[in-house]
Structure 1
C-alpha cells in the first residue's frame, strides 16, 4: 500500500535529502560514529505518483500510469554505507503497518517504527540517551520533518536543537503559514493558537517589520499590471520576509541554518521552504554541513523553464 501524495516536486525534495544523507554517512561512518536517521512523517515507505506516457513523439496514445516510487524511508535504508539506526514515526495505523514490513526487507538494519504524533514521539526520543548526553557521545543523527501541513511545533525544533547532535531537514510550509497570517494582526483571530504552536508567540514580530517595497506599477514592456498581479507580487515579497524571519528564528536555536531551498509545486508557485538546521556546534561539523548545503541549493534550486532538465 503505497502512500499517494505530492507531485514532481516531491522527487526534487527527496533527491535533495538523499544527497545530504549520503554525504552525512560518507563523512561519519569512517569515524565509527553511531549514525541515526529519524523520519518523523514517514508515511508508508513508498509513494504512488501519476505519470503520462506516450504521445506524438512516442507514436502511442497518451495514457496515465501510476508508478510506485521510493519514499524517504526506503531511500534512507538503501544508502551505503548504511546508517546504524532508523526510527520511523507515522500517525496512521495502516501506514505504520507498511513500515513494519521494512524490517523483513532490510533484516540487517536496526529499524524502530513508532505509531503516534510526530511532536510527541520526537520529544520522547530526544529526552532519552544517547541524545541527553549533550553531544558528548559518538551518536549523530538526521531528522527529516516533512509535515502534511502545520503539524511541526516550534517547541519540537527547540528540543531537537538542545541535543547538539542532530541535524534537521525541515520542509517548512511557507504557503500554509502565509495563509494563516492576515494582512492586519487584528484579523488573526483564533488562528493565533496555530501560529503560537508552529512559530512560537514571537510571530507577532512579523507585524512590526518594515513593509515590503512597493511593486512596480508597470512591467518591463510598459504594460500596466492588473490588481491581481499587483497583489501577487506583494504576497510573494511577504513570503520572502517570513522566510528570512523564520531562518533567523532557527539560527537562535541551531549552530547553522542554510538558506532555504524553494520547493515549487507549480512554476513560480512556492509552497515550501526546505531548511537545513545543524545541531552540532563544532566548527568541523558546521563547515562540512555548509559545504553540503551549498551544493544542495545549487543543484536542486528551481531553474528557468528554458534551462530545466526534463529527466523524469
Structure 2
C-alpha cells in the first residue's frame, strides 16, 4: 500500500494551525485546512500556494463537516489521509460561579464535540474501513497542560481539555484495530491569538461586580501576562509537532512547556494542597 502525503488540519487560519500548515506544505504534503471564513481561505492560498487546500467549515457545524468529508472522499478517496490534526479550539474563562451554563456548553461544543465529529467523519480516510488502498494514518490531538493542571478561572477550558485527554486514551486503544495511531500534544502557553480570543477576555466588564474580580485581575497580571511573555512561538511548537508526527515510533504524549521543571515538573511533585494554598495566597483567595 502507498503512504499518503495528504493531511487535514483543523483551525488552520492562525496560530499553531497556520504554522503546522506551513511546515507540512514545506515538507511536501498537501494540506487540507479547515477555516471558517472565505477571506482566511484566500489568505492561506496566497501564503502557502497550491499545496494548501481550504475546507470551509466550523467544527460546531456537523452538516458542513459531513459535506467536507464527502468532498474529500471524492477527491482523495484512493489516496487517503496520512494524518488528521485536531487543532481547532477556543479558551473561555472566568469565575465558575459567574459563568453561564451556555458558555460551558459552547466551550465543549468546540473543543470536545466538534473534535469528536471531525474525527468520526474523516476516520475512513485515515484507514478505518475494510479494504483501504493506503497505509493507516495518524491522529494528532492538540490538548493542553490545562487538561492535567487546572488553574483558577479557567474551568471551562481545563474541563474541555481534560475530557479530550480521556477520550484520546480510549480512542488510541480502539484504533489499534485499524493500525491508526493517536498522539496527544500537551502545550503550555504558546504565543497564539487564542489568548486574545478567549482567555484574556476573562477580565471583562461583566465580572467587575463579582466577588472574584480582584483575584481575577491578579491572575491576569501575575500569571496569564507572564505566561504569554515567556511563551514559545507557535512556529517552534509546530516544528515539534511535525517531528512527532513524522517519528517512526512516536510517543503517546508530547509535552511542549517552556521552563518545564518550574512550570510542570515541580508543581506535580509538590502535594496538591500545597500548590492550592500557594495559588490561593498569591491570588488573595485564602480566607
TM superposition score normalised by structure 2: 0.32
Q: As a proportion of its length, which structure holds more helix? A: 2
Q: As a proportion of its length, which structure holds more strand? A: 1
TM superposition score normalised by structure 1: 0.30
When Rg is computed on C-alpha atoms for both structures, the one with the higher figure is: 1
